[in-house]
Amino acid sequence: MFASSVVQNQDEKKKYRWKVSFTVLLLFIFGAIINLPFSREVKNLAIEAGKKDITLNESIFSELLTIGISGLILGSILVFIGLWVSSNANLGAPLIARYFSNKPMSEIIDRKAILSSIFLSVIIALILLVLFEIQSEVYPVPNKLPRPSKMYYLIVAFSAGITEEIMFRLGLMSFIVTVIHSFKSADNPGNGTVWAAIIISALFFGLMHLPLSNNFVDLTPFTISVTMIGNLITGSTFGWIFWKRGLLVAILSHIVFDLVFHVIGSPYS
C-alpha cells in the first residue's frame, strides 16, 4: 500500500497542462476565499482578548475582492512554477490530467495507494494529538488565547488543505527539486534530491505557521519549537504523499489530517 506510486504520464500532463493549470488556479482561489470566516474570527478573538495591533476590515466584500485578486496573482505564480517551470521534476498533478484524458484513473494509481495516504495522515494526526496531551500535562503553556470554534476549523481544513499544498508542495517543493536537479545529469530527480526538497519546504511550512501560532500563544523558544517540529512532521508527510501520489491526493490527505487534528481532536485545549 505504501510502496506503490502514481504513474507520471508526461505526455498526458503536457497535453492537458492548460486545463490542469486553470483547474489548480481555481482551486487555489477557492481555498483562499473560504479561509475568510476563520481569519476574521481569529482577529475578532484577538481584539476581544485586548490585542491592540489587530484591525478588522468592516467591509467583507472589499476583503473578498482583495483575497480574490491576491489569490489570482499568487495562484498564477505557483501554478506556473509547479506545472510549467518544474515540468521536468516528475511531480505535479497527474490525477487531474488523467481526469481530462477520460481514461481510467486505475491505470495510473491504485485505490489502496490513495487510502494508505489518508490512513497515514490520520495516524500522524492521532500521534500528534497524543503528544499534545502529554505536553499539556508535563509542560502546560501559559497565556493561551481563545481559539475559533470547531465550525471554523471545519471550513479551514478545506482551505488549508488546498492552498497550503499548492503553495508548499506544488510550488515550493517542485521548484527546489528543479533547482537541485538542474545541477545533475540524471534524467529524473533522485530520492536524495526529492527528500531535500521535502525537508526544506517543510521547514518553510513551519515558519509560515509561526504567525498563526502567535494568535493563540506567546511565541517562546518552547512554542516555536513545538510549532516547527509539528509542522516539519506534517509537512514531510504531505511532501512524501505529493511525491508518490500527486497533488490531488496530497490535498485530500491534508484535509483529512486537519479534520482529525482540529475538528475531532482538541490539540490546544
For 121-146, write each residue's pLDDT tens digit: 999 999 999 998 888 888 887 777 78
Question: In this predicted structure, what is the pLDDT of residue 141?
Answer: 78
- Tell me if 122 sits within 8 A of 257, measured CB to CB: yes
Instruction: Express each pLDDT in 75-125 by its tens digit.
Output: 999 999 999 999 989 999 999 999 999 999 999 999 999 999 999 999 999
Q: What angle do CA 241, 232, 146 make, to 5 degrees?
A: 110
Angle at the Cα of 187 (from 184 to 191), degrees rounded to 5? 70
How many other CB atoms are found less than 10 A from the CB of residue 231?
22
Cell numbers for 23: 483547474
Q: Which residues contact 162 (CB under 8 A, 6 or more apart)?
A: 27, 28, 30, 31, 251, 255
Phi-psi region of 242 (alpha: psi -120 to 50; beta: other; left: phi over 0): alpha
Three-state secondary structure call for residue 185: coil
Q: Which amino acid is at 178?
A: T
Lowest-confidence segment of 33-42, 48-57, 92-101, 193-202 by average pLDDT: 48-57
Torsion of CA 192, 195, 201, 203, to 10 degrees: -100
C-alpha dihedral (199, 201, 207, 209), degrees to nearest 10: -110
User: How many angstroms separate the CA atoms of 55 and 32, rounded?
Assistant: 19
Percentage of the residues of the chain whose pLDDT score is greater than 90: 70
Question: Which range (62-66, 134-138, 240-244) has the least confidence?
Answer: 134-138
- Give the mean model confidence (pLDDT) for residues 141-166: 91
- Choose the weakest-confidence range: 64-78, 132-146, 158-172, 249-263: 132-146
H helix or E strand, kind and range, residue 178: helix 174-181
pLDDT at residue 239 above 80? yes
Q: What is the pTM of this model?
A: 0.94
User: Could you say which DSSP state residue 229 is in?
Assistant: H
The per-residue pLDDT for 50 is: 74
What 3 state SS string does 202-235 have?
A: HHHHHHHHHHHHCCCCCCCHHHHHHHHHHHHHHH
**Which band of pLDDT confidence, cut at 50, 70 and 90, is reported for residue 191?**
very high
Please give the biggest Cα pair distance in the chain. Answer: 57
Q: How confident is the model at residue 240 (pLDDT cuts 50, 70, 90)?
A: very high
- pLDDT score for 43: 85
What is the predicted pLDDT for the residue at 2?
64
Mean pLDDT over the full length of the chain? 92
User: Is residue 1's pLDDT more than 80?
Assistant: no
Q: Rounded CA gap, 116 and 12, in Å? A: 25
Q: How far apart are CA 105 and CA 15, in angstroms?
A: 17
Q: Which residue has the higher pLDDT, 185 or 244?
A: 244
